Chains A and B, each alone.
Chain A
């Protein structure tokens, strides 16, 4: 287990997440993609912290912040989905684009 291996795994998770986020039509599935990308980021953050920072607490804090970002993204994202669905009865990405009208 080296940092390189960990970062490659993180890159793979990020790549799959990106594929999901770009390809999924449904907004909730898009959020799954985002979460998976953040999953990769989280792994990379922990990897860097463990292998290069010699356990400096700032690195851990970064990982916690990544998780906080996930929570915020999830809460706000789904609140948006509910609001949009209530207006449009649809949950696809494109219907978000027309919200501003």
Chain B
């Protein structure tokens, strides 16, 4: 695949992914709360409704950072998706260190969510921003350990090699603790459910409490884009990405991405959120040792 078609595929994948993610989210929400069905066009209706309203700002906000936080979050999600191989040897960003690039994306997400909460100069948004940093930083450690454990058998930090190394056996079997830990990171990156410390209900919407109109639409789109990007990365790392019989690789990737998206959304509606101090302790005292064990086991398996 040459560059231009690859980029087009990427954008199409992302756009359709965002649309499906929005519908999935509504479906899960309604199923659990016991309400009726969802129209497949509902994401467009919601977007139009947002865009029909005025975009407000606050007193003396940091306008530039407000704008850059929303645009940047979307960009980071897209860059994350760009390192995912759509087929053998075809990733839009094909470099030897794509796992590190994804790590950089994760850390930039923390920065951008913080900026989004900082820029409106509003108390509730500010609390949300600071709280997110407390969880967003340490949760990255888990994902790094898990990704490194996935890189061991591939002998490479290239996501293309990691997918190729799963030809015989998917990483989810080689490294059973990996995917659950990685999904927690996904919840945190997409500001969802138990890890939604930025935009949560106890802050009336947290960092997005002041977002109206186009800003709100942009932020929601970016969150869903991040969900797509994350799910595609997770599908490539643990579920063999594009590998699969008969169907073309990209279809397999799409199916696996969809499954993981559904899992993340389901978890986000079904798991309770704990106060942030408790979560901080949980990550360092309980989840981090589990990540150590995961790495050790993966190392032993790779050597065996």
Indicate yes or no for A touching B, C-beta below 8 A.
no
By a beta-carbon cutoff of 8 Å, the part of chain A in contact with chain B is none
By a beta-carbon cutoff of 8 Å, the part of chain B in contact with chain A is none
